[in-house]
């Protein structure tokens, strides 16, 4: 028996009890003839006391303990004279009788504390030590509690969790697949799922009615800051629902998580904002609605005054930064630099200060009179003391830039209360997206998304205008999930593939099984998938999903702890009838290393 | 709104209510001027009534409905005159007002009934229709309920579910890995986990204390009858436990599942039977203890009477088939044929009938007197009326054959009550297993298993005798799970790798991260993994795990529904710097097709 109690369990009610504890040495300190050791496990920290006078040998043994040694002790629970009321165990200590070293430890490469001196690279290499830090472990505990709440809630709502296969089939649509060579079917490959999309639709055809799964998905993408090659989805699908039934059902899940995990009661129904409106008002399809500062159109008020930049621009709009009329030259320059960053990509920023005195000062005073600027202020709802910030250019990109500027101002003015949660649904996404490079339409969501019936006639005349029954759940500017009502009849699915430029043969080869399934009584259905890592990050207050994952990969897709991926034995490749093209690889490597020198 | 109620929900209390239902046409029949349609969904079946006199057009429309059409109706709930008390909805029917066909269906390739006319191949190709059959869906519902109970139980016991990575590192020890080429690290490969073994041990080093995960694992094996390339484990690990702490903890889980899912109360502690005893008494390391019929050693009682077969045999043992002394020549021949089957592989069977009259009749009367046979009967505990069945030969294989014969007799005599559950732990497995072919020892369980301290000295003298702190959970002859207390210090782990013939370099390359972790305060720990598919199959009363899985693969590792694995685009291979060796592949294919002709 290694322990009678954990290190987080003992309190004043246990005083006088003989106990056995096991755990890690967090730290130890001598004080006169006494040695104090903080013993740590997942559940807490308990103070151990060794007394030189009482047992010199034992105390000397205790003094030799290093940080992170694993020890087992027996002793008696005693009330502390010097209580620490911040700890649940802070009223007691253990007067130790026996000490047994279960395992020693080298000095860890970084301190196992909430504030550590370990850099990212080192933390990832020794992730098993990093995970000992309470601040990281708490994220994983939160993740577990969220998964439990999600499963219990959905199961209570009659959803069945069904495991769909991991070894599936590669499809060129969407992101790049990871593939898995098959030894039993040499020359052929499985693919790892980017999502269980087709399987959950087949489960609806199978009459499962309500499905969910918390499931690993895979994308072989060049990893940007906050992407992982394997990530986790809360994947859901329902039959016999229209869009609003479905949104209501998952508002229920979201509200349950807010309530049970965060103790936050969301009383209002989530706004359902059309995609067009989100872009128009917030310059983003994932608006952060914790603050207003909506985008206002100024095009009609700016024309014909000789300012070429505005006159020639397709789009002229601005936002009002309340109470910022006193911004300095330096502050305004910073904002200009911000919008000119390559990621934002505008050519410049026009500002108008609406001074407290009612006068105007702007960067376009040469072209616009105070009366003109008053009209702008009226159109934008600006008041004396406010600062108007205006961008102009091509509609889509400028609107997005203005959305970014809005967020930047929100951050500067502390308008994003981290304790406030403003969930909303963005709805009515376009069905198709034009790609200039390949000169064709792509499905904005995926090829199984149902268009609005009333937009079907646009399919031939103006496909880009066809709206989809698609929706995203957005919380505080973060896209937490997305989904759609699906196509459930073969004809419409075929038409969709036609519009996406699939030949009939390609469509049949890749998705024939789904089209076939639609012939045997497919019910109307729809679904949604939430990014579980991201939802955990949101609730944990993390910017990145990485620390919601026990063993994440770095930006090169590597696990630096286990050193993977790695080369494999030649025999493994032979069994798979595969050859690594070493010559071509060498060329690449030479080129790369050449560049480095 | 597609429905106000499901098809399993309405009963006599809803009489008079107007409702909307959606579902599938299970069947329809005409009766005079009436048409009855059974409407089905996941929740049940509700009878719809169409009346020719009341609404001829509607009734004619209903008569055109085919099986598996998806329809939506509105109507009024009415008490049935002809009640079906076997159905929860059997007291009511719906007098239909409106009928809307949501989707039509072609005639399904097999009947969607509990007893179907569809063969295996067809069922798998149209798995989405197969899953509509209640008998299959029930298995998946059971699986879901079991997963929920497991998670809630373990979470209540302070276990945290942690997701471990799917893209890990290939290790040559154990079964064959599926590998995944990395595009970002060309020429290198990830591997899919055969189990999260090293990660769960690292979580213990990280102080997570109690971990579990219901997780997909992967093995690229030539598939025997009841294996799948991807399968699901209930993977668990605990710190600061010895073997009996751990077995007690998971007896708790098992008892909880029996109670909550099967309504069965297991009152006794599970027997803990050493591996040696299991083999000696039952000829198997997964004994079915629902019945006795233990193996008895006869070697000493058979020697020196001139029967060469027994005298030269290393092992002579038998079982007693109670009350079978009257077995006919034909029945005995059948048993002889059974033990001579290649899978059993013995050369013959000796029988001794202990007749009701107290006389003996045996196949070795020439060599043994009635007095000799009486001694056998005494040694085996046989009584008049019983049949003794005896095998002789090399110990290991003959013992296994006798174990199989015991099971065969158990089946013949109906001694395996399907409603009785006899869980037990088989413990003290050998640490190492000698492999004649490669002339070396292999870890019987895996290289992280902890040997008994008192056996450590045998490591040098007789490694095959070293016992491991390993254990299996066996229920009714089925191995449901297995695990071990692990090695947690670097020296012992190194010694283990040495004994398995790893060079220091190989060990460091493959498991250096784990050995490294042991340097920083690894706690004593151990764990277990249960075969979730198999446990579901046991509770569902299925012989095979296949119908516990929504979308299983066939014996060639193929998903015949989606037709996977399949070839992939040449560009995909190029990006991975891989080449399929087409020439060599062709040779194989020619040879294979040649063989078929």
Residue of A136, A138, A163, A555 to mutate, testing the B interface (most B Cβ within 10 Å of its Cβ): A163
> Is B111 part of any domain?
no
Query: pLDDT at residue A596 above 50?
Result: no
Number of neighbouring beta carbons within 10 Å of residue A48: 24
- pLDDT: which is higher, A170 or B122: B122
Q: Quick one: average pLDDT of A342-362? A: 96
| Min Cα separation B117/chain A (Å) | 17
Query: Does residue B356 form part of some domain?
Result: yes
With beta carbons less than 8 A apart as the criterion, state whether B470 and B451 touch. Answer: no
Rounded to whole angstroms, how far apart are CA atoms A354 and A338? Answer: 22
Decide which of A590 and A348 is more confident. A348
Degrees to nearest 5, angle at CA A464 with A460 and A469:
100
For residues A397 and A301, membership in a common domain is answered with yes
| Closest CB from B103, B108, B164 relative to A522 | B103
Is a pLDDT exceeding 50 seen at residue B510?
A: yes
Q: What is the mean pLDDT of residues B131-135?
A: 96
In this predicted structure, what is the pLDDT of residue B594? 47
Residues of chain A found within 8 Å of residue B168, distances taken between Cβ atoms: 559, 562, 564
Question: Is residue A370 domain-shared with residue A471, that is, in the same domain?
Answer: no
CB distance B505 to B451 below 8 Å: no
Question: Which of A68, A144, A203 shows the shortest C-beta gap to B160?
Answer: A144
Identify whether residues B295 and B408 lie together within a single domain.
yes
Complex ipTM: 0.95
Is residue A276 situated within a structural domain? no
**The model's pTM:** 0.95
**Last residue of one domain, picked from the residues A368, A392, A412:** A412
- The predicted pLDDT at position A370 comes to 96
pLDDT for B341-357, tens place per residue?
999 999 999 999 999 99
Cβ A244 vs Cβ A269: under 8 Å: no
Residue B168 to residues A448, B193, B512, B539, B575, Cα–Cα distance (Å): 32, 6, 14, 33, 20
Q: What is the pLDDT of residue B592?
A: 58
Query: Are residues B403 and B299 part of one domain?
Result: yes
Average pLDDT, chain B: 94
**How close, in Å, is residue A583 to chain B by CA atoms?**
10
pLDDT at B380 over 90: yes
Is there a domain that residue A1 lies in?
A: no
**pLDDT tens for each residue of B79-105:** 999 999 999 999 999 999 999 999 999
Both A428 and A405 in a single domain? no
Tell me the residues of chain B between 274 and 313 that have a Cβ less than 8 Å away from chain A: none
Q: Is A557 on the interface with B (CB under 8 A)?
A: yes
Rounded to 5 degrees, φ, ψ at B487 are -70, 135
Q: How many cross-chain Cβ pairs, A to B, lie less than 8 Å apart?
A: 367
Q: What is the mean pLDDT of chain A?
A: 94
Report the residue of chain A nearest B170, measured CA to CA. A568
Residue A120 included in any domain? no
Cβ-defined contact of B564 to A168 (cutoff 8 Å): yes
Q: Is A3 on the interface with B (CB under 8 A)?
A: yes
> At what angle are helices B329-340 and B395-412 packed, to 10 degrees?
140
Are B363 and B440 part of one and the same domain? no
Helix (H) or strand (E) holding A37: strand A34-41
Q: What is the pLDDT of residue B501?
A: 84
Considering only CB atoms, which chain B residues are within 8 Å of A166?
Answer: 166, 192, 216, 218, 230
A251-298: per-residue pLDDT in tens? Answer: 999 999 999 999 999 999 999 999 999 999 999 999 999 999 999 999
> What digits encode the pLDDT tens for the residues B267-302?
999 999 999 999 999 999 999 999 999 999 999 999
Q: What pLDDT score does A593 carry?
A: 56
- B441 and B497 in a single domain? The answer is yes
Are the beta carbons of B203 and A550 separated by less than 8 Å?
A: yes
| Single residue among B103, B122, B148 that ends a domain in this structure | B103
Instruction: Look up the CATH number of the domain holding residue B295.
Output: 3.30.1360.30
Q: Does A242 touch chain B (CB under 8 A)?
A: yes
If asked whether residues B377 and B457 sit together in one domain, one would say no
Could you tell me the residue range of the domain that residue A313 belongs to? 291-412
Please check whether residue A135 touches B, CB under 8 A.
no
Contact A148 B147 (CB under 8 A): no
Q: Does B179 touch chain A (CB under 8 A)?
A: yes
Cβ atoms of residues A421 and A476 within 8 Å: yes
Residue A597 above 60 pLDDT? no
Per-residue pLDDT band at A171 (split at 50, 70, 90):
confident
Check CB contact of A231 with chain B, cutoff 8 Å.
no
B234 part of a folded domain = no
A190 to chain B, any CB pair closer than 8 A? The answer is yes
Q: Is the Cβ pair B567, A164 closer than 8 Å?
A: no
Question: Does any domain span residue A147?
Answer: no
B3 contact residues in A (CB cutoff 8 A): 240
Does the distance separating the beta carbons of B522 and A184 come in below 8 Å? no
Which ranges of B413-481 would DSSP assign to H, the alpha helix?
A: 458-461
Q: Is the predicted pLDDT of residue B591 greater than 70, yes or no?
A: no
| Cβ–Cβ below 8 Å for A182 and B562 | no
How far B304 CA lies from chain A's nearest CA (Å)? 53
Number of domains in chain A: 3
- Predicted confidence band at A442 (pLDDT cuts at 50, 70, 90)? confident
Work out the minimum CA distance from A420 to partner chain B, whole angstroms.
29
Q: Are residues B296 and B402 in the same domain?
A: yes
Asked if B567 lies within 8 A of A521 by C-beta distance, the reply is no
On the question of pLDDT at B597 being above 80, the answer is no
Minimum-distance CB partner of A523 among B102, B176, B549? B102
Q: Quick: pLDDT tens for A358-394.
A: 999 999 999 999 999 999 999 999 999 999 999 999 9
Least confident of A283-297, A465-479, B574-588: B574-588
Q: How far is CA B374 from CA A446, B378, B384, in A?
A: 79, 6, 10
For residue B488, pLDDT over 50 is answered with yes
> Same domain for B512 and B434?
yes
Residue B523 pLDDT class (50, 70, 90 cuts): very high
SS3 B463: helix
**Sequence-ordered strand ranges (E) for A292-431:** 296-297, 315-321, 350-354, 360-362, 387-393, 423-427
Measured between CB atoms, does B513 come within 8 Å of chain A? yes
**Residues B332 and B394 occupy one common structural domain:** yes
Q: Mean pLDDT, to the nearest integer, of A8-32?
A: 96
Task: Pick the residue from chain B with its C-alpha nearest to A176.
Answer: B572
Residue B152 confidence (pLDDT)? 98
Output the CA torsion A577→A581→A582→A585 (10° steps).
-140
Confidence of residue B173 (pLDDT cuts 50, 70, 90): low
Q: Does A5 touch chain B (CB under 8 A)?
A: no
Could you tell me if residue A171 is inside a domain?
A: no
Min distance A340 CA to chain B CA atoms (Å): 32
Q: Is the pLDDT of residue A591 over 80?
A: no
Q: Left (φ > 0), alpha (ψ -120 to 50) or beta: where does A504 sit?
A: alpha
Say how far apart CA B306 and CA B368 lie, in whole Å: 9
Q: Are residues B402 and B304 in the same domain?
A: yes
Q: Which of A359, A383, A412 is the last residue of a domain?
A: A412
Task: Find the closest chain A residue to B44 by CA distance.
Answer: A207
Q: What is the pLDDT of residue B595?
A: 45
pLDDT above 90 coverage of chain A, percent:
86
Contact B40 A207 (CB under 8 A): yes
Q: Residue A18: which CATH number?
A: 2.40.50.140
More confident residue, A214 or A582: A214
Which residues on B lie below 8 Å from A200 (Cβ)? none
For the cut 60, the answer to whether the pLDDT of residue B77 exceeds it is: yes
pLDDT at A594: 47
Tokens of A112: 């196992």
Report the SS3 class of residue B495: helix
Predicted pLDDT at B142: 98
Q: What CATH number is associated with residue B505?
A: 3.30.930.10
Average pLDDT of the segment spanning B148-174:
93
């Amino acid at each position: 028996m290694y322990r009678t109690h954990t290190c987080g369990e003992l309190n004043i009610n246990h005083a006088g009890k003989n106990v056995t504890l096991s755990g890690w040495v967090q730290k130890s300190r001598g004080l006169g003839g006494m040695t104090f050791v903080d013993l740590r496990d997942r559940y807490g920290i308990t103070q151990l006391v060794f007394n030189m006078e009482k047992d010199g040998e034992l105390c000397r043994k205790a003094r030799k303990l290093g940080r992170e040694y694993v020890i087992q002790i027996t002793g008696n629970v005693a009330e502390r004279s010097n209580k620490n009321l911040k700890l649940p165990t802070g009223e007691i200590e253990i007067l130790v009788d026996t000490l047994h070293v279960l395992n020693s430890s080298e000095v860890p490469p970084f301190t196992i504390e909430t504030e550590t001196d370990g850099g990212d690279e080192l933390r990832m290499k020794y992730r098993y030590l990093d995970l000992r830090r309470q601040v990281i472990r708490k994220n994983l505990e939160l993740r577990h509690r969220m998964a439990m709440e999600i499963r219990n809630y959905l199961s209570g709502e009659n959803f069945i969790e069904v495991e769909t296969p991991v070894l599936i089939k590669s499809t060129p649509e969407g992101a790049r697949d990871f593939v898995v060579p098959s030894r039993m079917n040499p020359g052929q490959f499985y693919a790892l799922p980017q999502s269980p999309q087709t399987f959950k639709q087949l489960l609806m055809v199978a009459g499962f009615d309500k499905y969910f799964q918390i499931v690993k998905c895979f994308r072989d993408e060049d990893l940007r800051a906050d992407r992982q090659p394997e990530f986790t989805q809360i994947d859901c699908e329902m039959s016999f629902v229209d869009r609003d039934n479905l949104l209501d059902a998952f508002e229920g899940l979201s509200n349950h998580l807010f309530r049970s995990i965060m103790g936050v009661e969301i009383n209002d129904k989530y706004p359902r904002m059309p995609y067009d409106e989100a872009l128009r008002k917030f310059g983003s399809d994932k608006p952060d609605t914790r603050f207003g500062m909506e985008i206002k159109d100024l095009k009609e008020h700016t024309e014909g005054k000789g300012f070429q930049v505005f006159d020639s621009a397709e789009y002229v709009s601005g936002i009002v930064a309340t109470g910022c009329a006193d911004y300095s030259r330096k502050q305004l320059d910073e904002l200009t630099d911000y919008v000119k960053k390559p990621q934002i990509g505008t050519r410049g920023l026009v500002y108008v200060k609406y001074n407290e005195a009612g006068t105007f000062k702007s960067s376009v005073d040469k072209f616009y009179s105070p009366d003109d600027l008053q009209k702008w202020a009226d159109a934008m709802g600006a008041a004396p003391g406010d600062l108007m910030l205006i961008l102009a250019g091509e509609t889509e990109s400028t609107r997005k830039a203005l959305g970014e500027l809005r967020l930047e101002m929100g951050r500067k003015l502390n308008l994003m209360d981290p304790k406030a949660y403003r969930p909303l649904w963005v709805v009515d996404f376009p069905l198709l997206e034009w790609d200039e490079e390949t000169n064709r339409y792509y499905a904005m969501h995926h090829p199984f998304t149902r268009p609005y019936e009333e937009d079907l006639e646009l399919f031939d005349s103006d496909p880009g205008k066809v709206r989809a029954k698609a929706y995203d759940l957005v919380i505080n500017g973060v896209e937490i999930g997305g989904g759609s009502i699906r196509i459930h009849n073969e004809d419409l699915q075929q038409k969709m593939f036609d519009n996406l430029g699939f030949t009939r043969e390609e469509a049949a080869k890749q998705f024939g099984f789904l089209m076939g399934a639609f012939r045997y009584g497919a019910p109307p259905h729809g679904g949604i998938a939430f990014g579980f890592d991201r939802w955990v990050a949101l609730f944990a207050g993390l910017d990145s999903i990485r620390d919601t994952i026990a063993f994440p990969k770095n930006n090169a897709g590597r696990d630096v702890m286990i050193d993977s991926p790695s080369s494999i034995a030649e025999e493994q490749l032979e069994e798979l009838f595969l050859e690594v093209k070493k010559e071509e690889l060498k060329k690449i490597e030479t080129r790369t290393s050449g560049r480095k020198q």
